Structure 1
Amino acid sequence: MKYLKQYRIPFSGLAAGKHDFEFEINDKFFDCYEHSLVKKGELTAKVSLQKQEGMLIVNFDINGTIKLTCDVCLAEFDAPVSFQERLIVKFVNEEWDQETDEVIILNKTDHELDIATLLYEYINVQVPYYAKCSEQGVNITCDPEMLAKISTEEDTQSDIETENIDPRWAALKNIKNN
Structure 2
Amino acid sequence: MQVSKYLKQYRIPFSGLSAGKHEFDFEIDDKFFDCYAHSLVKKGKLDAKVDLQKQENMLVVNFHIYGIIQLSCDVCLADFDAPLDFEERALVKFTDEDWESNTEEVLVLSKTDYELDIAELLYEYINVRVPYYSKCTEQGVNLSCDPEMLAKINVDSTEEQEDNNEEKIDPRWDILKNIKNN
* TM-score bracket for this pair, using the shorter chain length: over 0.9
What's the counterpart of residue 135 of structure 1?
Answer: 138
SS at match of 1:152: helix
What percentage of aligned pairs have identical amino acids? 66
What's the counterpart of residue 176 of structure 1?
Answer: none
What's the counterpart of residue 11 of structure 1?
Answer: 14
What's the counterpart of residue 98 of structure 2?
Answer: 95
CA RMSD of aligned residues (A): 1.6
1:171 CA displacement: 10
Task: After superposing the two structures, state which structure 1 stretch, 8-17 or 154-163, moved more.
Answer: 154-163
Distance 1:142 1:53, change over 3 A: same
Give CA deviations for 1:94-116 in whole Å, capped at 9, x if unaligned.
Answer: 11133210000000000000000
2: CA distance between counterparts of 1:66 and 1:170?
56
Distance 1:12 1:153, change over 3 A: same
2: CA distance between counterparts of 1:8 and 1:99?
18
Counterparts of 1:40-79 in structure 2, within 5 Å, are 40-79=43-82
2: CA distance between counterparts of 1:125 and 1:38?
10
Task: After superposing the two structures, state which structure 1 stretch, 89-98 or 54-63, moved more.
Answer: 89-98
Amino acid at match of 2:162: D
1:93 CA displacement: 0.6
Within the alignment, does 1:109 sit opposite 2:118 as a pair? no
Within the alignment, does 1:149 sit opposite 2:163 as a pair? no
The TM-score normalised by the length of structure 1 is 0.93
Of 3, 23, 27, which aligns to 1:24? Answer: 27
Distance 1:141 1:115, change over 3 A: same
Consecutive unaligned residues in structure 2, runs of 5 or more:
177-182
2: CA distance between counterparts of 1:170 and 1:89?
71
What's the counterpart of residue 84 of structure 2?
Answer: 81
1:165 CA displacement: 2.8
The TM-score normalised by the length of structure 2 is 0.91
Amino acid at match of 2:45: E
